[in-house]
Structure 1
Amino acid sequence: MNEFSLENARSVALYCRVSTDEQAREGVSLDEQQDRLKAYCRAMGWDEIPLLFIDDGYSAKNLDRPQLNKLLKEVDKGTISRILVTKLDRLSRRLLDLLKLIDTFQDHKVSFISISESFDTNTPSGRLTLQVLGAVAEFERERIRERVFDNMLHAANQGKWLTQSPYGYDLINKELVINDTESKVVKRVFDLYLQKGFGYYSIAKQLNEEGIPSKQKKEWSIRSIKLMLTNPVYKGTLVWNRIDRSNQKQVEKDDEEWVVVEHALPLIIDEHTWEAVQKKIPGKKIHPRSKTSPHLLGGLLKCGRCCAAMSISWMGPKTKRRRVYRCSANKNKGTCTSKWYNASDVESWFKRGLQQLSKSINQSYVIMIASQVKEEEKREIQQQIHSAKNRYKRKVEAYTAGLIELKDLQAEKDRMERLVEEAKNRESTTSVNTSELEDKVNKKIATVIDAIDNLPVVEAKSLVQTLVEKVVLYEEKNIEIVLLNPS
């Protein structure tokens, strides 16, 4: 690009642009654009050397382009008299953006010339032509966008993968194929979260320490682990059209606009495990620091007097400091009269409480848990019925728009009716084996007790959090242990 100094005379500016998908297209190369614009200047008798502003590899969908921004700064300084482009769409494909730019040019007495369309915005006829051409260009772009969307919608309904392959898969001929090495990591992440009680941070840290890279060969983060655990692709479900990316800020669309195709992809995680993880994700809120603190009951222990959280404090001189659990309302506000308790004693009472609990799981407790399991099963069934009906509704809309055949619509109707019938049958026959449930609870308690005795505190604590919802401390040796639903 030519370097220039800003002298007294106003200059002619030549603006050229190509986007990456236009590089090989005949007639729009940067060299050809420059040659045509310079020839036009010679034909008009403009002898001064024009200034070049070239955006190589930038789309016309928005105005955030380096050389266009530089050109606008020069316009604002008053150094430009005319701006030339080979075609209207070199500057912008959106009518509103074009009009905004031209208003700016007019304010600074700069004419805008498109040599292919043969008009100059200094004339009324040129401005009228510009608006008509801009409207036609925008209309055509919208038509292209609609055709692309319709084609992608059809491909998604056929189970074709339309974007970059997620971790655990390779993309071959627009179809996902399981990557054996990565899929083992996916299974491990789900196991660490569901069975070992690790949080997003702890999982990311462990994978990074072991040198396991992400799909983009970067380190794992809290966000990437959460996205993996919530991605339905791993249970074989294709979801498309979930995010609106038409603006700079991405927004999640209403779920009725999503394209959801069940059992369309090779699964890595069975549906039961995936659903169990989803139930756990929005569960009890534990502060991130509490999850990884080296204190067994951090984030779980509550005051029996005021129900506030009890956190670790340190008592005594520096040479003989000892850990204590102290009511946060007492410590921070003075509104609770609860005393502090030696942390090792509290953790010992908790362990003994678990041991006693494993010997005294009574029938009424198991029946209560069984009732909760049945309610969750019922909610899950109702959700499946709702999803089946929504899928059919989207198929009706696709048929109305001419995107699918009548036979495809009928097949979806039959599928919906079958799924609804199966779900209703499950709802009427759902039962819980209380003996099996009692055995499951006892085994989980035994595993946690063993972890407390043999594992580092942070790892033992992760397992405790898969079993215990909260621990309430009333007074010395008087604690209540509230278990999570074991389903």
Structure 2
Amino acid sequence: MNVAIFVRVSTLDQKNNTDSVETHIERGKMYAQSKGWNVVKIYNLAGVSGKSTIKHRQTLEMFQDVKTSKIQGIIISSLSRLARNTSELLEYSKFFEEHNASLISINESLDTSTSGGKFFYTLLSALSTYEREITNERQIASLNYRRKQGKFTGGMVSYGFKIIDAEVVINEEEATVRRLIYDLFLEHQRTSTVAKELNQRGYVTRKGRNWSDVTIKRLLKNTDAKGIRRCNYRGNSSKENPKGFKPQSEWQFLPCPKLISEEKWEEVNAIIRAQEKGSFFKQPLNKRVHLFTGYLKCEQGHKMSIKSKSNRYTCKECKYGIGKDDLEEVFLSRIKQFLISDEELSEYNQSNIQELNLKVDEIEFAKSELSKLESKLDKLVDLNIKGEIPTKGFKKHYDPIFVRKENLEASIKTLEIELEQLEKAKSSFQIIANKSIDFYNNWNNLDRGEKRYIVEAITNKIIFDNQTILFKLKQIAPLSFLELNPKGQQRGTIL
């Protein structure tokens, strides 16, 4: 198989000599050699931010090479080197799946050409667990650094707060009105009444305008009043995303001064939720609110939907349907069965052992290279002592090798730490599976929006023939124990 190596190293890592393009390329070549693959190209994104890599010219070149079958897979050191946000990871995975190419990540023992690799990728991406941890760590580190430098960390503060020396503090003048809003709502339980009361008392917004019920509701629901400030949730707007909201995996929540007690905030928002629920069911539900609308079809390809005041997905043409709760139960059951597969666990463990062996080989190779460099340095010193290399020119010959030696020593330390982590993580797949089971066991506590997000993340199509349900899921590998056909379709039966 012809493969390519995809390398992205941050400018900071290169500057500090904690990481290098050469290290990643060497790792990729060794991995390809262990698999018997041919490395035919290298895509170098040195110094490129991982926030968005999918439109970089090197990435576009890679896409074209995959489309024309010049390469059948790419090797990366870790998923974070490919992209740092879930949406782009899913786009990459979809592209490789559509063009029958493999995505291989060394650190995660991930190879989408195998069933274990496909499952692991979907699990990390759909639940956003992996991406969220990496993103939060980097965001928090960046925010802490900027705060130490006395710089503003970005974003806007809502009514009742202000920024002083890059810190969010209470604006005492506005805070008085913001607290009054909560008290008035508890008294009247109407946002329009609160707005009217504030306007009659002569209070205006920060922009000098009259208060509206929309503004009141937004401030009442904002968690910063109870000491939790939402950050990094908006970016550049576009036609597809006019409000510029970022994926929720990139959102960050930071502590800030409290305006009211958490108990009062919860009391107010409990009233708002009850009011929203009451009005919600008096109006026709939006189609996208239902979990499987747009994905569920009959065997003839007709879309199945829920009619007003009904709890069943029905097909107008075929005249049959299925209860929405029944479909949700079968969907959840199939995902849980997939997660507890002994076959998947066995396959992942085998992959993990291969990675351990590769890591040992990497360390041995690096130590061998280090020994060669040390010998070269010793020879240079001997030649200098003998006068064969003049002192004036000695530094020119000695320094580059010495720098390579130091970088290699640092690389060996990193590899040894990675090896230790791999040895401790032989059961990592089972841990992830167990956490995922816990997540799905908590399914009934998720709101419909959260459930819908999961369905969209892992579902291509669901087909119902009035007896059985066929789930066509994204990137999930075919497993015989789930009665899957060779195309990776999961079949469930309504009893």
TM-score tier by shorter-chain length is 0.3 to 0.5
